[in-house]
């Protein structure tokens, strides 16, 4: 096996898979358990893949691989999300335009054509990454949401929901993006954590009110009385129409020192006959009476000057008070009729959303710019005049000083104006969470606009009930985040005022008229003909009979359209294209009044398209009906946690509304990957390693495994660290390779099949991988585990086989429950057991002169590695393939020439010897404590010691196990002390067969006893080192150095050599024999052991370095330098 970096080996294995169509063959293998249905959520191809995509792709690979090995057929088809703001924003930048006006000037057809051409710009980069991370998926045969067949299925879905009377048009307060000029769903913003912490200036503003009828006598005539209201969005103040208070909240009126004279823009509290306020200035001068302020009693701490409480009251006592408007707004006539909505403006109203946690306990209400405001406006029929246009710019109805300004840019103007008029009480810095557009990063604002909605309120009970049928991992999401989201979900806004998306299939019988202002808010659901909706030119569509139809297919459109052929022929379109602008030109004849019906201008929220993926990829119900029915619902889906409010949610809504059942049975939810310091990963900050650099250093298996076994798979955030990947690389990848290399040193090649047709059944192996047939051939059927070695009774063989089947059992249970963390974390534990315990304690068996011992160790190790490669396959597909190709027999590879065509290993419960597993666990704990005692005494394990005593052992430990402990900790004798009170130097009972030399030199030399305990077990180690023990330690040290030289020069266990050793530097003075004499003595006394341990025909000490085939210098622990030379045997 060529010694090449593992990342390079991964690339060779990729070529092996491609050349031999391993993925395709895995789909063709027998599937006795039937279909396992997996839905792959379509990503946008508008950017390069990142760690989040690698995470999602890995879990979407692990489970399908596992299920395939378990006997299922798992179809895996890639898909692309093609529509929506992501690509539109990119195309606007590419074309050098911005905003809807410039798009329409350029032409919708040209704009959408550019979107179509650019939507898969990064598809090749995605394909490169998906292939490199080892994911098996039908990438080339992908579905696309922009395909007409897909879009037709989306229309069909909307028609099903329409027919159930679950779609309506209405006005609601929605998050709105002024750059994209379209509403944005709450879950779209929450999904990508688009709320950002911003520090802005909040203000407390004074609203001048009429004198309270039961006010105290100490308020002089004309003394100004103000209600203090706090807001973090000063730009909404020109739209103020009401103040809100809590009816049961305690409020106070306080007197403060008199301020400078105050002028109110829309002026004085003296009521006129035909107007509520006159236009004269109000003077704050009160002949010593001061200024009076009203606020919540618990918020008095916000006041900035001395005050005196002059009156206390409940919020309900303030209800009905009238106040002067801050600004003059066109459309709110102060000389309005008594029945006009304007007569209900500029009053105090009760509201249950008012709190005293912050602010003043009095809420400024602008109706159209907040959900609570909007609901209050609906309840009390407050007037509304929208002051912002579609770009977030104040319109001509706004106060003159801000007309034409962008809403955020107006705030300084507004604040300066209020200060100049004495109406600004306080300005303060305030940090809060603010929503930004998930695609263009523009600050959003709430706006009451008309849109189309799915009536979630009527589906909610069904959604909650069907959630009970879904298995969530982690489980807490089921009744936590997802259930809470369902309970609090508003009606779903499915319309967007954009271009590149599936058009909404609604046609209305209308006549185009000029826009008419509306002063009164009405419930959106209750809008009745003539309905007010946006027209293509920005007007309002009125008239006609108001009939609305929903078209659910191409065929229905062709049948009902009056100009279908004419439209598509005029644009020279060979195939039907449902996109704008062509579909906008199609007219339908109203079946109620014979008038013309025109399509409404909005397009579908792209999440409707993503949610339609289970049926739309099949063009259901127009094609593939049986195939869809076999594949609905999904057995498994996986995405990151924000999709609980996005793709998981919308699929749940569509599936429940149309099919009456949830669209998936099991869902795995991951967390979010952050930079190592916990911040968001940022290319500009360069606070994370480039994925390609990481893969080129460690290979992708280490990255995959780290992600699959980290907290991110438990829906927690992961602070990504390269050190963790490096740790996996060393603890799993390199350790497994070391085990494999050790096995191959001693495993003789199996003779390949005879030349001829049989040999041709085997595909070519990746370059650098040698013949896979090693050790004894096992016959285990198609991809099976093979026969468990049964003739070995060695304790280590029985133990590692028990550990293997225990691991098979536990990994199977974990993966069956989609607990990839629990299943995956068993792998490093098993590799550690295999390497640092089984092989470490079996080394001499591999070198044994007894054939039965050698074959027992080889057969067991071959079986373990072969089976372990199958356990690795879902998590670390490259390492699994590498191991499989190196240890699997030719006979087995006839049917399973790749591990990914093999079956999952079956657990043999009879092999799980629980008593032995517990005994070995205790033995390893004893070893661990003993090593700790050696470390404390600063004595290395190579130095033999006389004895080890063990207390509090509750198990009966066999002599074989005690001998194993003695060998591992390098002591002559292990004793069990039956009583905790026994002294470490007496009263013990010797268990096992002590070495004949166990008492030699006892009690001599330096040292004493070191005791260690874990709270249950207690060990005592005699650390005295006699001269004889010291010589034996030197012999072991020489053995280690000579074997290191063998390794350096590339010798194998089959290479016998003559070894020469020469002392080339004097050692520091010691009381023991030193220099050449000491080494000579050790070589003489331990000649037989040395020859066996270093595979040498002879070992001798020479006076000086000689001419040899290989040589190397080494240094002993006491700093003596030795020359080690070797000649061929």
User: Which of these, 886, 669, 913, 887, lies nearest to 809 by C-alpha position?
Assistant: 913
Interacting residues of 547 by C-beta distance below 8 A, sequence separation 6+: 508, 509, 590, 591, 592, 593, 597
Within 10 angstroms of residue 760's Cβ, the number of other Cβ atoms is 9
Closest CA to 204 of 266, 323, 295: 295
Measured CA to CA, the distance from residue 1009 to residue 1015 in angstroms comes to 18
Give the span between the Cα atoms of 731 and 828, in whole angstroms. 7
If you search the block for the tokens 């199958």, which residue do you land on?
Answer: 870
Q: CB 768: neighbour CB atoms within 10 A?
A: 13
Catalytic residue among 64, 325, 341, 643: 643
- Surface-to-core class of residue 624, CB atoms within 10 Å of its CB (0-12 exposed, 13-18 middle, 19+ buried): middle
Per the residue annotation, which of 647, 837, 884, 904 is the catalytic one?
A: 647
As given in the structure block, the two tokens for residue 467 are 């959630």
Are the C-beta atoms of 64 and 136 separated by less than 8 Å?
yes
683 is in an annotated binding site: yes
Cα 860 to Cα 840: distance, rounded to the nearest angstrom: 14
Nearest residue to 994 via CA among 971, 1028, 1021, 969: 971
Determine the Cα–Cα distance for residues 1074 and 1080; give it in Å rounded to an integer. 10
The tokens describing 1073, both together, are: 């024999």
Candidates 786, 218, 198; CA nearest to 444 is 198
Q: Write down the residue that tokens 């929450």 correspond to.
A: 190
If you search the block for the tokens 């035909």, which residue do you land on?
Answer: 274
| CB within 8 Å of 2: residues ≥ 6 apart | 767, 768
Residues 916, 919, 925, 927: is their CA dihedral positive or negative?
negative
Q: Which member of 416, 558, 680, 906 is catalytic?
A: 680
Q: Which of 683, 940, 956, 1084 is catalytic?
A: 683
Spatial separation of the C-alpha atoms in residues 930 and 971, rounded to whole Å:
10
Residue 637: strand pairing partners: 667
User: Could you tell me the two tokens for 1022?
Assistant: 């005699």
Q: Name the strand (E) or helix (H) holding 1048.
A: helix 1027-1049
Taking the CA atoms of residue 1053, residue 1056, residue 1057 and residue 1059 in that order, the dihedral angle to the nearest 10 degrees is 70
Establish whether 230 is a catalytic residue.
no
Rounded distance, CA 754 to CA 752, Å? 6
**Residue 854, burial from CB neighbour count under 10 angstroms (0-12, 13-18, 19+):** middle
Distance CA 866, CA 84 (A): 49
In terms of C-beta distances under 8 Å and separation of at least 24 residues, what long-range contacts does 629-634 make, across chains too? 630/35, 630/37, 631/35, 631/37, 631/75, 632/37, 632/659, 632/663, 633/37, 633/661, 633/662, 633/663, 633/664, 633/665, 634/37, 634/38, 634/39, 634/663, 634/664, 634/665
Single out the residue of 384, 424, 414, 421 nearest to residue 233, CA to CA. 414
Out of 17, 80, 507, 607, the active site residue is 607
3-class SS of residue 544? coil
- Tell me whether residue 647 is one of the annotated catalytic residues: yes
Helix H or strand E encompassing 589: strand 587-589
- Asked if residue 106 lies in contact with residue 99, where contact means CB atoms within 8 angstroms, the answer is no
Distance CA 616, CA 610 (A): 9
Query: Does the annotation count 316 as an active-site position?
Result: no
DSSP string for residues in 829-844: HHHHHIIIIIIHHHHH
Residue with tokens 């006129």: 272
Burial 433-456 (b: 16+ CB within 10 A, else e): ebbbbbbbebbbbbbbbbbbbbbb
| CA gap 556, 572 in Å, rounded | 22
Catalytic option among 40, 61, 81, 373:
81
884 in Cβ contact with 11 (< 8 Å) = no
- Sequence ranges of the binding site: 683
> Would you please indicate which residues are annotated as catalytic (active-site) residues?
42, 81, 607, 643, 647, 680, 683
- Sequence ranges of the binding site for ATP: 683
């Amino acid at each position: 096996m060529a010694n090449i970096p593992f990342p390079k080996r991964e690339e060779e294995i990729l070529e092996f898979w491609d050349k031999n169509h391993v993925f395709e063959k895995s789909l063709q293998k027998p599937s006795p358990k039937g279909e396992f249905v997996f839905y792959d959520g379509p990503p946008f191809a508008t950017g390069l893949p990142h760690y989040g995509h690698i995470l999602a792709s890995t879990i979407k690979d692990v489970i399908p691989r596992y299920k395939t090995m378990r006997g299922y057929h798992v179809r895996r088809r890639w898909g692309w999300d093609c529509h929506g703001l992501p690509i539109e924003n990119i195309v606007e930048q590419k074309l050098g335009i911005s905003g809807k006006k410039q798009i329409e000037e350029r032409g919708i057809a040209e704009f959408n054509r550019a979107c179509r051409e650019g939507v898969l710009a990064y598809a090749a980069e995605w394909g490169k990454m998906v292939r490199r991370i080892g994911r098996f998926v039908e990438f080339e045969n992908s579905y696309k949401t922009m395909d007409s067949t897909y879009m037709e299925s989306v229309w069909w879905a909307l028609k099903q929901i329409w027919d159930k009377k679950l779609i309506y048009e209405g006005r609601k307060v929605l998050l709105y993006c002024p750059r994209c000029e379209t509403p944005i769903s709450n879950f779209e913003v929450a999904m990508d954590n688009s709320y950002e912490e911003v520090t802005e200036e909040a203000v407390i503003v004074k609203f001048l009110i009429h004198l309270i009828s039961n006010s105290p006598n100490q308020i002089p005539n004309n003394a100004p009385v103000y209600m203090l209201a706090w807001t973090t969005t000063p730009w909404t103040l020109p739209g103020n129409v009401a103040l809100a208070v809590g009816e049961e909240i305690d409020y106070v009126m306080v007197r403060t020192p008199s301020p400078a004279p105050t002028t109110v823009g829309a002026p004085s509290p003296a009521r006129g006959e035909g107007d509520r306020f006159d236009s004269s200035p109000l003077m704050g001068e009160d002949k010593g009476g001061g200024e009076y302020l009203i606020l919540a009693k618990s918020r008095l701490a916000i006041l900035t000057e001395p005050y005196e409480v002059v009156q206390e009251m409940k919020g309900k006592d303030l209800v009905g008070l009238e106040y002067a408007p801050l600004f003059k707004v066109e459309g709110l006539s102060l000389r309005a009729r008594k029945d006009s909505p304007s007569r209900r403006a500029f009053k105090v109203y009760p509201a249950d959303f008012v709190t005293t946690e912050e602010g003043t306990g009095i809420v400024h209400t602008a109706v159209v710019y907040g959900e609570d405001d909007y609901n209050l406006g609906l309840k009390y029929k407050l007037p509304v005049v929208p002051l912002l246009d579609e770009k977030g710019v104040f319109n001509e109805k706004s106060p003159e000083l801000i007309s034409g300004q962008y809403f955020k840019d107006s705030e300084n103007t507004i604040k300066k104006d209020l200060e100049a008029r004495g109406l600004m009480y306080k300005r303060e810095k305030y940090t809060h969470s603010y929503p930004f557009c998930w695609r263009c990063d523009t600050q959003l604002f709430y706006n009451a606009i008309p849109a189309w909605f799915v009536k979630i309120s009527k589906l909610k009970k069904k959604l909650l009930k069907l959630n009970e049928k879904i298995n969530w991992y982690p489980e807490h999401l089921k009744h936590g985040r997802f259930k809470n989201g369902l309970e609090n979900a508003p009606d779903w806004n499915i319309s967007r005022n954009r271009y590149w998306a599936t058009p909404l299939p609604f046609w209305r019988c209308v006549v185009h008229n000029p826009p008419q202002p509306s002063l009164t808010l009405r419930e959106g659901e209750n809008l009745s003909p003539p309905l007010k909706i946006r027209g293509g030119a920005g007007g309002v569509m009125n008239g006609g009979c108001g009939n609305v139809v929903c078209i659910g297919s191409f065929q229905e459109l062709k049948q009902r359209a009056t100009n279908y052929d004419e439209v598509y022929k005029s644009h020279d379109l060979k195939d039907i294209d449902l996109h704008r602008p062509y579909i906008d030109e199609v007219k339908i004849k109203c079946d109620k009044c014979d008038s013309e019906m025109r399509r409404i201008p909005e397009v579908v929220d792209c999440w409707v398209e993503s949610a339609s993926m289970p049926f739309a990829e099949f063009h259901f119900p127009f094609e593939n009906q049986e195939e869809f029915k076999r594949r609905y619902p999904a057995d498994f889906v996986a995405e990151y946690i924000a999709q609980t409010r996005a793709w998981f949610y919308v699929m749940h809504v569509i599936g429940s509304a149309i099919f009456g059942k949830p669209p998936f049975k099991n869902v795995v939810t991951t967390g979010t990957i952050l930079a190592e310091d916990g911040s968001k990963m940022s290319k500009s900050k360069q606070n994370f390693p480039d994925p390609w650099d990481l893969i080129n250093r460690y290979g992708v298996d280490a990255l995959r495994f780290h992600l699959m076994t980290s907290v991110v798979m438990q829906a927690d955030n992961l602070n990504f660290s390269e050190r963790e990947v490096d740790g996996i690389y060393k603890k799993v990848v390199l350790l497994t390779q070391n085990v494999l290399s050790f096995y191959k040193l001693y495993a003789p090649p199996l003779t390949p099949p005879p030349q001829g047709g049989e040999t041709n059944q085997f595909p070519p192996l990746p370059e650098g991988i040698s013949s896979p047939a090693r050790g004894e051939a096992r016959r285990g059927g198609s991809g099976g585990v093979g026969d468990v070695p049964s003739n070995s009774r060695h304790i280590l063989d029985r133990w590692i086989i028990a550990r293997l089947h225990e691991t098979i059992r536990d990994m199977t249970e974990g993966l069956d429950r989609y607990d990839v963390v629990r299943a995956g974390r068993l792998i490093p534990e098993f590799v550690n057991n295999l390497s640092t315990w089984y092989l470490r304690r079996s080394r001499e068996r591999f070198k044994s002169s007894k054939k039965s011992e050698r074959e027992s160790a080889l057969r067991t190790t071959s079986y373990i590695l072969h089976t372990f490669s199958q356990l690795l396959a879902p998590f670390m597909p490259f390492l699994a393939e590498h191991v499989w190709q190196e240890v699997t027999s030719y006979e087995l590879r006839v049917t399973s020439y790749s591990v990914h065509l093999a079956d999952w290993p079956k657990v043999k419960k009879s092999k799980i010897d629980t008593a032995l597993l517990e005994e070995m666990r205790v033995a390893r704990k004893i070893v661990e404590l003993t090593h700790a005692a050696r470390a404390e005494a600063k004595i290395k394990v190579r130095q033999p010691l006389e004895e080890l005593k063990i207390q509090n052992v509750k198990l009966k430990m066999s002599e074989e196990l005690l001998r194993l402990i003695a060998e591992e900790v390098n002591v002559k004798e292990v004793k069990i002390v039956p009583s905790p009170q026994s002294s470490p130097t007496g009263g013990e009972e010797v268990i096992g067969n002590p070495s004949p030399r166990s008492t030699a030199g006892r009690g001599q030399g330096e040292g004493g006893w070191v005791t260690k305990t874990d709270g249950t077990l207690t060990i005592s180690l005699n650390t005295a080192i006699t001269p004889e023990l010291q010589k034996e330690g030197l012999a072991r040290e020489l053995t280690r150095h000579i074997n290191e030289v063998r390794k350096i020069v590339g010798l194998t266990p089959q290479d016998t050599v003559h070894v020469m050793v020469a002392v080339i530097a004097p050692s520091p003075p010691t009381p023991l024999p030193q220099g050449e004499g000491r080494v000579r003595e050790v070589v003489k006394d331990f000649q037989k052991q040395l020859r066996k341990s270093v595979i040498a025909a002879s070992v001798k000490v020479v006076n000086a370095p000689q001419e040899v085939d290989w040589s190397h210098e080494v240094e002993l622990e006491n700093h003596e330098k030795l020359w080690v030379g070797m000649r061929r045997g």
